[in-house]
């Protein structure tokens, strides 16, 4: 490692680490894959990933435990989700074992960058894939590249586990039968303007409503939404255009099985937002970010508090991060030790 990092000060910014993984799909098969030092890619100017959005990515994290081990949280779930995305945009699938092995190799090769236990930081792993080859018609590429790099990160939303405020947007990030459930770059391009407007208006990010009716909550920026009702039900929206968050489904499981809460995946109407006494955004990058308030059509709805975190959100956070850091016993198969 060439630079000294101040682990406690890390945000969510690109840092070049030592090694990254690259594998090429050509003539119907993946090559072995290898670790390289160069963080630049050379591809044909006609790559479908550059023109037609035949591109996708994933995000997961590695954590340092109290006894110095390094572990990944549910990488097989990211692998399976990437396969769903691969199918959606007509790319060859990356086998689950290849995906997990690539992540393991990258973490091992950059282990000095895995932040120490207790710093609140972790190693973010970014697998991605796109069409290369020489294809200019609108059709699937003839060749693909699958890469994985990593970087140490801190909180995605400034403040980490302190409440932040969001505002609903008039823009849509995804259509009901479109690519919302796939992790394709185009969804994020579609979110940039909405995000900037929310930030310019003083909010952490925007809340997307369903594209068809604009009445139901879908996503909180690049994270899923959850709320805790006044009678302690963990609720999260159900929709075909939401990215199926691995963090969200993990929380759903933990709420039900570790905290004995009722759970529901169903419509969440923005006009009925006061059914929730606590709310949060959840995702790999966001972890759990408590939602202080949501502003919608000029009205501000405060949940638990704009400065303090509710007790159920706190317990969900402690349980999830406890598992990720190795302090709480994980459900079988959730942890992969590097």
Residues marked as catalytic: 183
| DSSP, residue by residue, 250-294 | HHHHHHHHTS--EEEEE--BGGGGGGEEEEEEEETTTEEEEEEEE
* Smaller CB separation from ligand COI, 126 or 301: 126
Minimum CB separation of residue 224 from ligand PLP in Å reads: 5
Task: Take residue 196 and report the two structure tokens written for it.
Answer: 């900037």
* Smaller CB separation from ligand PLP, 245 or 324: 245
* Smaller CB separation from ligand COI, 13 or 32: 13
Quick note: the x/- pattern for ligand COI over 222-241, rule CB under 6 A, is x-------------------
284 lines the binding site for ligand COI (CB under 6 A): yes
| Contacts of 226 by beta carbon, 8 Å cutoff, 6+ apart | 234, 235, 236, 248, 251, 279, 280, 282
Stretch that binds ligand COI, among 38-46, 253-261, 278-286, 326-334 (CB under 6 A): 278-286
Task: Take residue 34 and report the two structure tokens written for it.
Answer: 């290898």
251 lines the binding site for ligand PLP (CB under 6 A): no
82 lines the binding site for ligand COI (CB under 6 A): no
Minimum CB separation of residue 231 from ligand PLP in Å reads: 26
Tokens 């923005």 belong to residue: 270
Could you tell me how many residues of this chain bind ligand PLP (CB under 6 A)? 12
From candidates 79, 141, 223, 279, binder to ligand PLP by CB under 6 A: 223
Give CA separation, 318 vs 96, 242, 251, 252, 276, in Å: 29, 25, 11, 14, 20
Among residues 114, 112, 113, 98, the alpha carbon closest in space to that of 22 is found at: 98
Write out the H or E segment, with its range, that includes residue 51: helix 48-51
Could you tell me how many residues of this chain bind ligand COI (CB under 6 A)? 5
243 lines the binding site for ligand PLP (CB under 6 A): yes
Instruction: Specify whether the CB–CB gap between 17 and 150 falls below 8 A.
Output: yes
Stretch that binds ligand PLP, among 105-113, 118-126, 240-248, 329-337 (CB under 6 A): 240-248
- What does the alpha-carbon distance between residue 329 and residue 159 come to, in Å, rounded to a whole number? 27
167 lines the binding site for ligand COI (CB under 6 A): no
Minimum CB separation of residue 182 from ligand PLP in Å reads: 10
Instruction: Specify whether the CB–CB gap between 22 and 145 falls below 8 A.
Output: yes
- Which positions touch ligand PLP (CB under 6 A)? 59, 219, 222-224, 243, 245-248, 283-284
- Which positions touch ligand COI (CB under 6 A)? 59, 222, 283-285
């Amino acid at each position: 490692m060439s630079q000294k990092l101040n682990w406690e000060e890390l945000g969510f910014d690109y840092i070049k680490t030592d090694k990254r993984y690259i594998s090429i799909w050509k003539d119907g098969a993946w090559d072995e894959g290898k670790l390289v030092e160069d963080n630049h890619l050379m591809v044909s100017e006609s790559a479908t990933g550059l023109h037609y959005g035949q591109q996708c990515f994933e995000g997961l994290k590695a954590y340092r435990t109290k006894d110095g081990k390094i572990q990944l949280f549910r990488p097989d779930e990211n692998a399976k989700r990437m396969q769903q995305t691969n199918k959606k945009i007509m790319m060859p699938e990356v086998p689950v074992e290849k995906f997990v092995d690539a992540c393991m190799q990258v973490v091992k090769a950059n282990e000095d960058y895995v932040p120490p236990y207790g710093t609140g930081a972790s190693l973010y792993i970014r697998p991605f894939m796109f069409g290369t080859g020489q294809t200019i018609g609108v059709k699937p590429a003839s060749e693909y590249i699958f890469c994985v790099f990593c970087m140490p990160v801190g909180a995605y939303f400034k403040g980490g586990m302190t409440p932040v405020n969001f505002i609903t947007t008039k823009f849509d990030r995804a259509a009901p039968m479109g690519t919302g459930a796939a992790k394709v770059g185009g969804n994020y391009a579609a979110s940039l303007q909405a995000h900037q407007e929310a930030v310019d208006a003083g909010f952490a990010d925007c809340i997307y409503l369903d594209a068809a009716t604009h009445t139901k909550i879908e996503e909180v920026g690049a994270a899923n939404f959850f709320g805790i009702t006044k009678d302690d039900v963990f609720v999260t929206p159900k929709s075909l255009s939401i990215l199926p968050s691995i963090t969200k489904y993990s929380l759903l499981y933990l709420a039900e099985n570790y905290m004995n809460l009722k759970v529901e995946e169903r419509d969440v109407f923005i006009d009925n937002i006061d059914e929730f006494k606590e709310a949060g955004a959840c995702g790999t990058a966001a972890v759990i970010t408590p939602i202080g308030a949501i502003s919608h059509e000029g009205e501000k709805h405060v949940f638990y508090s704009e400065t303090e975190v509710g007790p159920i959100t706190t317990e969900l956070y402690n349980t999830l991060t406890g598992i990720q850091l190795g302090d709480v016993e994980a459900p079988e198969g959730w942890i992969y030790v590097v």
